[in-house]
Amino acid sequence: MSLLRPLHRTRAYQPVLAWSAIAGTAWVFVLVTLGAFTTSIGAGMVFPDWPLSNGSLNPDGWLHDLAMFSEHSHRLSAGLITAVTLAIALAVWLKDSRSWMRKLAWIALGLVVAQAVVGGLRVLMDHLHVETVDTSVGRLFAMAHATLAQLYICSLIATSISLSRPWMEPSSHRPRGIITWRRTAVFCTCLLIVQLAVAAVMRHSFAGTSIPTFPWSTPEGDLLPAVWNFRVAIHFAHRVLALCITVALIVLVARISRDPATSLRVKALAWGLLVLLAIQITLGAAAVLTYRNPYFTTSHVVVGAQTLALCFGLTWWSFRPAVQTLRPSPAPSRVASEQTSSVA
């Protein structure tokens, strides 16, 4: 237990810890890609057991079968990111003096563990059917699994930013003033999370091609679908939210660009949101028009996660003055100064 006793905790920038968090954040997008591709090709139930795959960590034939490869590599990647998150949480607890930072690291660990458990329940409970919603219990867990993934990504982004050099060692030349776009950024982040949750329901309800035309809802060019059911409604809701997000992100980028209290680096990152948005709309259209081509569909999921990550990162950065309290060294007191002079 002595190995787990807190070491000398500090508020200073720690490069090894910071770059480890960045590496973990980068790897999570590999995990998202594998998970999205597994769902896109319908391989989520290629193994009926969990946490092992066909009772093994190295199931026969998984390197030669695409479905088995995508699902098993997804599981292996999930195990790796869980270990990385645990290591980061322990390192932060041992070395970082900020109590809120230690809590944030434990939240990230809690989310990845919950994500793994829910993913396992998706497999183990798939045989149970829910008549009221005409789906399996496993698919309900799959929807929760996809949504938890986005929250976990946000926790990793927050951890990486909070351990980074720009956060830990603020520049004296940083523009100062009230950040005018913070509320807009929070709104956009919440809107993106809702959109990704709706997308998870749509994907696991097989509603991706319920409206097979784009941008209109019918081949005749109608705005509204001609026939309505749950799958059509959830697909249409996804499109409406996409339009709302497009407007909201344009407003956000405009406000960030005009804000004198925002650095040029942050403004450049904000413009990256519009680039991702354009790519995301193109991929969404391609996924519909190609009847859910797995490569377009997977890319659509991954770029959606990247858009949320960037938007949340900007949002988290906007709160930096509130969570980063610099403690200047106390000035020597008058009495101490007089005592020093008298001794001299």
pLDDT at position 328, please? 46
Q: Are residues 179 and 139 in the same domain?
A: no
Inside any domain, residue 201: yes
Residue 57 within a domain: yes
Q: Is there a single domain that holds both residue 125 and residue 21?
A: yes
> What is the domain extent for residue 228?
175-321
Four-residue CA torsion sign, 250, 256, 259, 263? negative
CA dihedral 208, 214, 216, 220 (to 10 degrees): -100
158 and 184 share one domain: no
106 and 248 co-located in one domain: no
The answer to whether residue 122 is domain-embedded is yes
- The reply to whether 162 and 180 lie within a common domain is no
Following CA atoms 94, 97, 103, 107 in sequence, which dihedral angle do they give, to the nearest 10 degrees? -50
What is the residue-level pLDDT of the chain in tens, covering all 344 positions?
455 566 688 888 999 999 999 999 999 999 999 999 999 999 999 999 999 999 999 999 999 999 999 999 999 999 999 999 999 999 999 999 999 999 999 999 999 999 999 999 999 999 998 887 788 999 999 999 999 999 999 999 999 999 999 998 765 445 556 688 999 999 999 999 999 999 999 999 999 999 999 999 999 999 999 999 999 999 999 999 999 999 999 999 999 999 988 899 999 999 999 999 999 999 999 999 999 999 999 999 999 999 999 999 999 999 885 444 444 444 444 444 444 444 44
Quick check: 280 and 307 in contact, CB under 8 A?
Answer: yes
Residues 155 and 222 reside in one and the same domain: no
Residues 154, 184: one domain? no
**Domain membership flag for residue 330:** no
Query: pTM for the full model?
Result: 0.88
Rounded alpha-carbon distances, angstroms, from residue 297 to 39, 55, 241, 245: 9, 30, 18, 19
CB 236 within 8 A of CB 225: yes
Q: Which of 127, 146, 168 is the last residue of a domain?
A: 168
Same domain, 194 and 313: yes
User: Where a domain ends, among 115, 143, 168?
Assistant: 168
In this predicted structure, what is the pLDDT of residue 321?
54
**DSSP states along 248-296:** HHHHHHHHHHH-TTS-HHHHHHHHHHHHHHHHHHHHHHHHHHTTS-HHH
Check whether residue 136 and residue 54 sit in a common domain.
Answer: yes
pLDDT at 327: 47
Nearest alpha carbon to residue 320 among 185, 192, 186, 166: 166
Same domain, 42 and 120: yes
| pLDDT at position 169 | 76
State the total domains in the chain.
2
Task: Report yes or no on 96 lying in a domain.
Answer: yes
Identify the domain boundary among 120, 137, 168.
168
Q: Do 179 and 313 belong together in one domain?
A: yes
217 assigned to some structural domain:
yes
- Non-local (6+) Cβ contacts of 128 within 8 A are 136, 137, 138
Query: Is 4 inside any structural domain?
Result: no
